[in-house]
Structure 1
């Protein structure tokens, strides 16, 4: 009879029957429940209580993403897809070119290279002649535009 009453109460309150808890002292009063208003009155009296809803814990998710934020779990084994999927190729190109242009501007303002040499190298950078800043430096050292070393 208790389970039948619990079902009736759960329907009346619009809650799951597994969350309806009945105090053991008042178990005999459940037989009296016939209507929804009876169920609500038992809830008001405190004979019947409704447990709060339980959600899924975010703890594990939070820990994983905190580690990822701090640069962990980024090794070869975790990488999926091509390199371009992790960093856009166009964005890589933009970063590379900006870096080389910054270097050329630095050398020009420092007085290491004249504006004619700067223009020639600037256009070579724009044309994709150099793979990276290090290849630009190597070219400049090889052609005696700047001295070797740091």
Structure 2
């Protein structure tokens, strides 16, 4: 039995590729007799012709690798590609740094460690890139107030 035509029609009706058309081996005689598209539609409704599930790419390995990387594995020198700045851009680094400094500055102002005038001066200094990190800011404040 050559069911090529029936398979082609079924794939067209179900809007899938020919490889995804499944014909029930027990119903092959019925399918062979089907010559019109309407016959094929009836066989699809009857379950003699079905569409196979789409094959996808398994995410199992990818999930495992992601979990390992979250723990800090698989990130050594041999796994890296691109420059240092390709992994975390200069802008991202700056954003992280300035947000931490500004947050600490706000805390210092609320705790009364610096006045509003000092806060504004330190804020402007941090915007200009004067401080390396929050510790540098704290040391600067401690030394300036002495």
Do Structure 1 and Structure 2 share a fold, with TM-score over 0.5? yes
Query: Gapped runs of 5+ residues in structure 2?
Result: none
Quote the offset at 1:20 in angstroms.
1.5
Q: Could you say what secondary structure the match of 1:52 adopts? A: coil
Match of residue 114 from structure 1? none
Q: Could you say what secondary structure the match of 2:125 adopts? A: coil
Q: Could you say what secondary structure the match of 2:22 adopts? A: strand
The correspondence of residues 38-77 of structure 1 with structure 2, limited to 5 A, is 38-65=39-66, 70=70, 72=72, 77=80
Given that 1:97 and 1:125 are in contact with CA atoms closer than 8 Å, whether structure 2 keeps it comes out as no
Mark the CA change 1:32 to 1:86 in structure 2 (over 3 Å): closer, same or farther: same
Q: Distance in 2 between matches of 1:44 and 1:139?
A: 79
TM-score normalized by structure 2? 0.61
Query: Gapped runs of 5+ residues in structure 1?
Result: 109-116, 146-150
Counterpart of 1:102 (choices 98, 102, 107) is: 107
Q: Could you say what secondary structure the match of 1:128 adopts? A: helix
Cα RMSD (Å) of the superposition? Answer: 3.6
- Report the count of equivalent residues: 135
1:134 corresponds to 2:135? yes
